[in-house]
Structure 1
Amino acid sequence: MTTPPFTLTGIDHVVFLVDDMARALQFYHQVLGCQPGYSYPALGMEQVWAGSALIVLWDTTHPGAADAVPPVAGGRNVDHVCIATSPFDHVALRSHLAAHGVEIEREALHGGARGMGHSFYIRDPFGNKLEIKGPAEYPDGR
């Protein structure tokens, strides 16, 4: 048995699919008390802070959310769960996933609850999308 080349540190963010951003933001800000987070207007995506984690709201009516639209009416409303990790070696993680027959769907560097970091998107055996996200990477090397 192999062990992953990182240590789990918690949930970074969860992505909820919505079809009315104004209504969604009103609920998360006014009902739950979430604070504004990162904004991605080109994607129709707004993030709100829920303590030290983020809830990402992705508006399926926005043209930038083409990949997020549920396949059928009443379909899924969660895009993916992001799992925060310790720093990891990207080559070692690719090797670890390959050894377990897990395909990497996408790699990206973008914002999350801990800042801009490198992410690997995979699926569990049931088709659930998971984002494995390392800690923030800062241009000044912090």
Structure 2
Amino acid sequence: MSKPPFSLVGIDHVVFIVDDMPKALAFYHDVLGCVPGYSYPAMGMEQVWAGAALIVLWDITHPGAATAVPPVQGGRNVDHVCIATSPFAPDDMRAHLAAHGVKIDREAQHGGARGVGHSFYIFDPFGNKLEVKGPAEYPDGR
């Protein structure tokens, strides 16, 4: 078995299907603190920076998004995306989410690329599940 002619760097971007771009941008900017990225108005697509990675928001109500419309409305092809954060106080996170009317689906201590840390599972306004995860609170055993 040969090695691929490249090395992996990490996640570059994730694409979420939405149907209300202003609502999507408000959530990702105001709740998660993402900053504007690239814009593709002819495609109905906006990108927001989540640290060093991009979240792509593709509005399927836009004529330029015809190829993004899923064959089955309400179908799902991604369980969730984990967004890594700086350290946070869980009480502060709960208050922040409540102030924006965002319901916490669950909280957990989960492992990830940076080790085991505190996670909040929430949904964006379009039903996309997000895990907002703080840094490792203890090593993951590697």
TM-score of the superposed pair, with normalisation by structure 2: 0.53
Which residue of structure 2 lines up, in the alignment, with residue 11 of structure 1?
11
Deviation of 1:25 after TM superposition, in Å, equals: 0.2
Q: Distance in 2 between matches of 1:43 and 1:27?
A: 20
Uncovered stretches (5+) of structure 2, i.e. residues with no partner: 82-142
Which residue of structure 1 lines up, in the alignment, with residue 27 of structure 2?
27
User: How many equivalent residue pairs?
Assistant: 79
Larger RCO (CA within 8 A; separation ≥ 6): 1
Structure 1 runs (4+) deviating above 4 angstroms are: none
CA RMSD after TM alignment: 1.6
Instruction: Determine if the alignment matches structure 1 residue 75 to structure 2 residue 72.
Output: no
Distance 1:59 1:15, change over 3 A: same
Matches within 5 A, 1:15-94: 15-76=15-76
Identity %: 81
Q: Distance in 2 between matches of 1:77 and 1:16?
A: 10
Greater Cα radius of gyration, structure 1 or 2: 2
Q: Distance in 2 between matches of 1:48 and 1:58?
A: 11
Uncovered stretches (5+) of structure 1, i.e. residues with no partner: 82-142
> Normalized per residue, which structure has more strand?
1
